[in-house]
Amino acid sequence: MKYKILPFLLISLFVCNVAKAQTWQMKQAPLMTKFAGDVDPDNTLPEYPRPQMERTEWMNLNGVWQFQPGTGQQEQLPNGTLSGSILVPFPVESAISGVKEHYSRLWYRRNFVVPANWDNKRILLHFGAVDYETEVYVNGVSIGKHFGGYDSFSFDITDYLTPDGTQELTVRVFDPTDESGFPRGKQTLNPEGIMYTSSTGIWQTVWMEPVAETHIQSIKLTPDIDEAVLKITVSTSSENNGIVSAKVKDGDKLVATVVGAANEEFSIPVSNQKLWSPSNPFLYDLEITLLQNNEKLDSAGSYFGMRKISTNKENGIQKLYLNNEFLFQMGPLDQGFWPDGLYTAPTEEALKFDIEMIKAFGFNMVRKHIKVEPQRWYYWADKLGLMVWQDMPSINSYTSNPQPIEQAAFKNELTQMVENHWNSPSIVMWVVFNEFQGQHNTEELVNMVKQLDPSRWVNQGSGGDWKGAGHVLDLHNYPAPVCPESSSQAIVCGEYGGIGLAVDDHKWSNDYFGYVTVPDPEKLLADYEKYIDQLTLYKTNQGLSAAVYTEITDVEIELNGLMTYDRLAKADVTRLYNANRKVIEQDIYMSHLLPNAKVEWKNWRYTIDTPPQDWYLENFDDYAWKTGLAGFGTMGTPGAVISTIWNSSDIWMRQNFELGDISSLNKENIVLNIHHDEDCDVYINGEWAATLSGWTAGYITVPVTTAAFNALKSNSQNTIAIHCKQTAGGQYIDAGISILSDNKIATSVNTIKENIKPPNFLYPNPGNNTIHFSKPLSTPASVAVFSASGQFVKIENNVNDQVDISSLNSGMYYLKVIEKGGVQSFKFFKI
């Protein structure tokens, strides 16, 4: 088609003047970032939005558009100029949009002119993302719809353009937010707590570009470092196979040129390959040309990183490997909200800034939390070197009024997320669900993602309902980190922390919260470093592969960030950097002087009746107390190793143990290895060792007082005494004494003669969908389930550490476990 147009310069001036004539003015949010002042309505987010398939000719359609709220589903296409204006691509609720109000139905409109040099080309109209349902009109004609708030989509608008120079583009949007069962992440119509203001409408760049009749539609890049090749598939708009020329460059140096068939996978050798990693995020440039009969039809620029993601077993525990080596992954939770732009960063510098700060804090990974970002965000993660755990936006997030789950929509958007962001080397993990929110069909969806992308890890549910699917077992806890157990999956702590610090003049509201709150930066740093030490112990001694701190920035009234919502660092960046590098790069070994119940179960003396005041002294006579196997508590308490039921308000416990020669040890490195729910006091040889308040969800290390470690005696009997008090919820107490060191030390200092084989138990009990063994079975076993009356219900084979009970009704059951050699045991559980 030939277009009757004015000279391009005059057209640009015409469009610019029309935009300025429309009344747009940025609104004021409770907080604004420094980047808001750089927003230019005449040059809004001008960067090419698709860095891994970049064309040189394109037109950015961001800027001031006409806007007005919709009135209903049956509303007809409005005529004439719309009633207001909005800055695209900022959500209608955002301050930068100039509207800062919520409407579930929206109309957008703008005019554009096709450049003269696009004559006889096909014209593609692209949307980065629109939330949620989109219908597009060109010159008054509906050309198509799209459903989904996080994936890009395109239309060929060529046949709808008129020969006249000016074209009209209208977009209708409907977004039900939490009034439907579609994926929405942390958006809500009623912001509070950990749910935030919704982001309705166009929120990523809108642009056009000219292409030939036969053109490149997509590029799929898969590095293989073991074979030193890049596998590439260039898909085109035509089934007629063209020829693809692919050039790989290292700066100005040509690495390889390979010619292959379009729409088929072929390989490019990458000799002397430079591997991508967070410490060396090297990217190769890629030039792709589509040819037919030696005629150039299309071309695109791209890039890639050579890296490998895998798992490998070390000491019986699966570990996460990057480039065939274990690398502990430490990162923050990043929700991707902005006080002034909501889902949309104000500028490219803002988008880049968050990743630069994550790197400045010493992290090597980030968990992108139930939001999918524009592709330029992943470009900066690729370029600056940051591994990304990519969450799928959840359904029914934290709502008291859950909607019927739109399973087809979730599955489609999950597929689109994987396919649209396949090429980013920074993305190392797909997270299918978060904390039970809208969780459904877990095994099916995990297997689908594994088949779509066998080159990355798949997380079945971060802190969610675990089905034994995927590559990782991911546990959440606040505030202290915890370490789950599994021999079949890599173990990670997908959320912990939440140390809340309010900074005056940088709060969204005076009504705010953190999971725990601290008064000043020094306390934030001290707590942060304490948790890092705990993570380092988990990594070194229990095989933890990764941890995610909540979070990189505050979001609205949630003040758990290392930065404020308007991006001010709350504490010394260098100290945070050093802490994070410690867990990534160093080891802390733990040797047990008195093992706890997770290591070696032992009998303790205990009473639930208030004892005499001298109950904690060395020479106290506890002969009349009961004897019980640690730990003590109630079934279902997180992280507990229950052997003796304790369900009263108080318990007093004593343990006599012998030590060998500890004179050469640095006593200042002696710690309690304790799991307490709730408050407790600990004494060693009659000296006060620690007072702990609140509760833990797993075993933590706690320094003891100087008097307590000085009281420990070599080659002699020692005594530990504990009082624990419970007020509500689950309860548990167990403790040991350990010593920490930079290197492994001999454990012969512990001369305890009593060695009770720890029984295996089931948790959580009562169970829900999956029930776990406290210790993995020695070899894969068969597990039969029977009702309380002895009726056979089901059998599972090759069980390692968990059994699916989702199909069972409420009631009492028992498991019959048949291990290698015919060894049998019985375990009771309740649903």
Which H or E run includes 651?
A: strand 650-659
Confidence of residue 166 (pLDDT cuts 50, 70, 90): very high
Q: Which pLDDT belongs to residue 828?
A: 66
Nearest of 477, 776, 757, 510 to residue 637 by alpha carbon: 477
Round to whole Å and give the CA distance between 296 and 288. Answer: 11
- Residue 768 contacts residue 710 (beta carbons within 8 Å): no
Q: b vs e for 189-216, b when ≥16 Cβ sit within 10 Å of the residue's Cβ?
A: eebeebbbbbbbbbbbbbbbbbbbebbb
Round to whole Å and give the CA distance between 478 and 514. Answer: 10
Which H or E run includes 211?
A: strand 206-211
The average confidence (pLDDT) of the chain is: 90
Confidence of residue 822 (pLDDT cuts 50, 70, 90): low
Non-local (6+) Cβ contacts of 236 within 8 A are 214, 215, 216, 217, 242, 262, 263, 290, 298
Q: What percent of the chain has pLDDT over 90?
A: 75
Q: How far is CA 617 from the centre of its chain?
A: 48
Q: Which pLDDT belongs to residue 487?
A: 84
Strands 716-725 and 650-659: antiparallel
Average pLDDT over residues 524-533: 96
Q: Which pLDDT belongs to residue 15?
A: 46
Average pLDDT over residues 676-699: 93
Non-local (6+) Cβ contacts of 48 within 8 A are 54, 55, 58, 207
Higher pLDDT, 22 or 326: 326
Which pLDDT tens digit goes with each residue over 236-251? 998 777 899 999 999 9
Nearest of 125, 136, 18 to residue 77 by alpha carbon: 136
- Residue 379 contacts residue 389 (beta carbons within 8 Å): no
Q: b vs e for 251-282, b when ≥16 Cβ sit within 10 Å of the residue's Cβ?
A: eeeebbebebebbeebbbebeebebbbbeebb
pLDDT at 7 over 50: no
pLDDT at 408 over 60: yes
- Residue 580 contacts residue 532 (beta carbons within 8 Å): yes
Average pLDDT over residues 200-223: 96
Peptide bond into 373 cis (omega under 30): no
Average pLDDT over residues 690-719: 91
- Residue 733 contacts residue 577 (beta carbons within 8 Å): no
Confidence of residue 485 (pLDDT cuts 50, 70, 90): confident
Average pLDDT over residues 767-784: 75
Round to whole Å and give the CA distance between 172 and 572. Answer: 47
Q: Which pLDDT belongs to residue 24?
A: 93
Which pLDDT tens digit goes with each residue over 56-89? 999 999 999 999 999 988 899 999 999 999 999 9
pLDDT at 132 over 90: yes
pLDDT at 820 over 90: no
φ, ψ of residue 13 to 5 degrees: the values are -65, -40
- Residue 580 contacts residue 549 (beta carbons within 8 Å): no
Other CB atoms within 10 Å distance of the CB of residue 622:
20
Which pLDDT tens digit goes with each residue over 327-365? 999 999 999 999 999 999 999 999 999 999 999 999 999
Confidence of residue 763 (pLDDT cuts 50, 70, 90): low
Angle at 401 between CA 399 and CA 407, to 5 degrees: 85
Confidence of residue 513 (pLDDT cuts 50, 70, 90): confident
- Edge to edge, the sheet with strand 265-269 lists 216-224, 229-236, 265-269
What beta strand segments (E) does 140-200 contain? 141-147, 153-156, 166-174, 187-188, 196-197
286 - beta bridge partners? 248, 302
Structure-block tokens of residue 498: 């939440």
Average pLDDT over residues 361-374: 98
